[in-house]
């Protein structure tokens, strides 16, 4: 039984759109990645992949954000849906590597992070969300801050995952 960090959709094209609280968000992700690397736990990256559009496969926007620098031995999975589990082989990878505890960071809260959280819960994984290392964007109906508050406090906390701040995360 081991744990792994999952970095969801922190890609050049999305970071360039300036997600909510970008500086703190990116700083926290880097700190969490460093904690997992220092503890010798796997760090796994996901890229949302589109045939055409902002995150078109093989485009510069599609790449994992350069400041995160995935190591050569850190897997990068491509996904085409809002779930890191759908048609990616990720669940099989976790089983093969005896990974039962997942920690999520990344974006967007209301899309890929939310769906992936609920699917991980359904599959029985122990799940931690680093709440200050998850972000999104304003939309036509809600500010990014409202979206994050809603998902953290009304959907995820005490239902699907433990929520921790970067400073309180122990590995």
Q: Are 82 and 111 in contact (CB under 8 A)?
A: yes
- Spatial contact of 42 and 138, defined as CB atoms under 8 Å apart: no
In this prediction, what percent of the chain has a pLDDT beyond 70? 99
Query: Does pLDDT of 104 surpass 90?
Result: yes
pLDDT range class, residue 26, cuts 50, 70, 90: very high
- C-beta separation of 24 from 32 below 8 A: no
Distance of CA 3 to the CA centre of its chain: 15
The distance from CA 76 to its chain's CA centroid, rounded to whole angstroms, is 12
pTM of the predicted model as reported, rounded to 2 decimal places: 0.98
- CA–CA distance, 146 with 160 (Å, rounded to integer): 19
Q: Please tell me the predicted confidence (pLDDT) of residue 75.
A: 98
Indicate if the pLDDT at residue 1 is higher than 80: no
As a whole number of Å, the end-to-end CA separation of the chain is: 14
How much is the average pLDDT of 152-156?
Answer: 98
Average pLDDT, integer, range 33-49: 98
Task: Measure Cα distances from 159 to 5, 18, 96, 108 in Å.
Answer: 20, 29, 27, 19
12 and 63 Cβ atoms separated by less than 8 Å? yes
What are the phi and psi torsion angles at 116 (to 5°)?
A: -65, -35
Mean residue pLDDT of the chain comes to 97
| pLDDT tens digits along 112-146 | 999 999 999 999 999 999 999 999 999 999 999 99
Q: pLDDT for 67-76, tens place per residue?
A: 998 999 999 9
């Amino acid at each position: 039984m081991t744990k792994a960090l999952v970095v969801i959709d922190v890609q050049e094209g999305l970071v360039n759109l300036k997600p909510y609280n970008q500086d703190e968000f990116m700083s926290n992700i880097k700190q969490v990645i460093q904690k997992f690397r220092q503890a010798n736990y796997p760090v796994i990256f996901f890229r949302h992949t589109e045939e055409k559009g902002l995150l078109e496969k093989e485009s510069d926007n599609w790449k994992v954000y350069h400041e995160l620098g995935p190591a050569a031995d850190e897997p990068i999975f491509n996904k085409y849906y809002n779930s890191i589990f759908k048609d990616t082989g990720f669940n099989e990878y976790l089983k093969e590597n005896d990974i039962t505890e997942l920690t999520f960071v990344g974006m967007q809260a209301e899309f890929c992070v939310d769906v992936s959280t609920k699917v991980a819960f359904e599959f029985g994984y122990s799940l931690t969300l680093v709440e200050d290392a998850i972000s999104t964007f304003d939309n036509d109906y809600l500010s990014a801050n409202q979206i994050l508050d809603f998902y953290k406090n009304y959907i995820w906390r005490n239902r699907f995952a433990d929520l921790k701040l970067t400073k309180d995360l122990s590995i």
